[in-house]
Structures are given as structure tokens and as C-alpha cells.
Amino acid sequence: MPDQLPPLPKRVENILFLMLGDAKMNYRLRELYEYGSVGPDFYDPTAMNGKGRDDRPKLVQHEDMCYRVQGMETDRFESGQFTESNNLATSHPTVFQSLAQVLIFTYDVSSKDSFLNMCERYEGLPTPREGRIEIKLMRIDRNISKNGDVQDKLVHEERYISMDHFPVVFAGCRYPAESVREVEKEDVEAFAHHHPDWKFAGECMLEEDRPENVDQVFRVALEVYHSIRRVALQQGALDHIVDSRPHKQQRSPHCCVVL
């Protein structure tokens, strides 16, 4: 009889990685990680389930935890903000905290412009001050009257995240495989040296017949999240989002992430 796999731990957690970079490249990266192959030959940002897939999360065990890992990609990033389809500007950390546990910044090793764009995206991240990050959130309050009239009101709020830095991973991807390299390793090493809070996940090949190091990129992202989560649990720093109202500004000074 074949060896039986050890039972999964009882502690299971959903985790979402947000990939920032070229849409087509990140689409292939996510597809290769979650399914081992690429869906449609063409990039279709509306095709969330290529080849009839159901976007089930990938189960990954790490130490005493089992994570259900999913990826999401976007290239809609302007002036430090994501532009949503409803034309509301949602600030970078708001999207990060509400949707994703780790940001994966990607660049195409065959494009120096792609690498420089990644550096600019990083500059859009707010700088933590005194152990917390301020969020300027805009949301719509919708009221529907008894006669069916709809009234939308734009509400501005300020929130705070108690954390010392963003859990961020950056990765280089070669696509297509025969492309000529433009980003030198010295450029990557210099960027990593000046951004010690970042974690370099390595480089990967996005060809369907040889998806090199794709799993490793997400493994590094998972390890980054797992280590920060462990520290947060040890320090009791799980109240990560703090309302701006005075009576709710009790917060922990420790770095923490969405659970």
C-alpha cells in the first residue's frame, strides 16, 4: 500500500497574496502556481476560471498550520492607489488589509522599465509612523427608501493599522523564456539592500512546459506571512485595524496582519 499522507493540522487559515505588476505576467504566475498550467492562451482579465477551473485554494502545510492559498493580480495602480471599477480610489493599505495578507511585487527581468515601475509602486506605500500606518478610506453609504429611491453618499474615514512595516515580497519573472535579460542582479541586490523590510523571493520562469521556481516564490511569501503572524500571536497584537474615533484608539504597538 502507498504511504499515507499525514493528516492535515486542525488549524487551517485562508490566505490571499496580491501580485502587483504586469497583468499578463502575473496572470501566468498565478495560473502556474494554482493549477500547474496556464489557462487560455490569451490574457483575459475577466476570465477568472480559465479552462473551467473553480479557483479552489491550494492547500499548503507549513509547520503547525495549513493554509488555503489563493493569488490575485492587478496592474491598476496609479499614484499610490488602486482604481476600482466603481471609480472609487481605495488607498493601498486598505486594499492590502482587507483583501491580501502579503503583497508580491513582480517585475519582468527582460524589461528595465518593468523593474523601475516596481520601484515606483513601492514608493506609493505609506510610511509607518510610530508603529502605525494611517489609512484614508473612501466608501459609499447606500440608503434605499421605502419607495425604492437610492441615495449614495461618499463617506471619508481615517483608520490606522498597527504595524511597523508591510509584509512584502518581490520576485523577478522571465517571460517569455527566450527574452534577453535587462535587469542585472546588481540592480536587484542594491534594491534589496536599501529596503531591508522586503524579502526577495527569487526569479521564476513562466513557460508552461517548465515553470521554474514558481512554487518557491509563493513559498517565500507564505513563510513571510507565517513568521509575522507568529510574532503577532506571541505579542497578542491581533487588533490590527483601529478606528480613528478617540474612544477606539486603543491599539497594540506590534506588527500584525489580517487573520
Query: From edge to edge, which strands make up the β-sheet containing 58-62?
Result: 58-62, 65-74, 12-20, 102-108, 168-174, 198-205
What length is written for the chain? 259
- Give yes or no for a cis peptide into 40 (omega within 30° of 0): no
Name the residue with cell 531591508. Answer: 196
Question: Who has greater pLDDT, 194 or 160?
Answer: 194
pLDDT at 2: 47
Residues 196-207: what's their mean pLDDT? 87
CATH of 12-248, one of 1.25.40.10, 3.40.50.300, 3.40.1000.10, 3.30.565.10: 3.40.50.300
* pLDDT tens digits along 20-76: 888 788 888 888 888 777 766 555 555 554 455 556 678 888 887 888 888 877 765
The residues near 96 (Cβ < 8 Å, ≥ 6 apart) are 18, 103, 166
pLDDT for residue 188 is more than 70: yes
pTM of the model: 0.68
- Could you tell me if residue 60 is left (phi over 0), alpha (psi between -120 and 50 degrees) or otherwise beta? beta
Question: Measured between alpha carbons, how far is 186 from 196 in angstroms, rounded to an integer?
Answer: 16
